[in-house]
Amino acid sequence: MGWRKEGAPRMSLVGHKIVGEVIKVAGDCKWGHEVGDKFRLGIHSCDGLCAQLYSMAYPYICALQFGGKFPAWMDADENTKFGEESDYMAFRCPDMRNCITLAIRRYWREE
């Protein structure tokens, strides 16, 4: 558990920091992801995340990395109040028999 690997390309430092974390595993993930695995994600880095799940999350990673926000109703965490915008999104794996849930969160960088 913990961080999968270090050493993402320096280009991934563009924009805001995006971290993905596996929050649920239903079945047996064939890629080997486990609850608690974390990934430093960005437009240039999947950091060891399964390609199928990364491709699903990619448009949202891009939006968060460059300042976009989501309406809270989309998939906000428990700390987001109704009507607020969210820096958080959760995705489910396309493998429905061995589904994992990945949460991505933006950490704002000072300009």
**Mean pLDDT split into 10-residue runs, the chain, 111 residues:** 52 80 91 94 91 91 88 56 68 87 86 52
pTM, two decimal places: 0.77
From the list 77, 75, 79, 72, the residue with the least C-alpha distance to 92 is 75
Confidence at residue 98, expressed as pLDDT on a 0 to 100 scale:
85
The per-residue pLDDT for range 65-95, each reduced to its tens digit, is 998 887 665 555 555 554 556 788 888 888 8
**Torsion angle of C-alpha atoms 33, 37, 43, 48, degrees rounded to 10:** -50
- pLDDT for 19 equals 94
**Residue 43 contacts residue 62 (beta carbons within 8 Å):** yes
Name the token pair of 94. 């396309």
Whole-number pLDDT of residue 12: 47
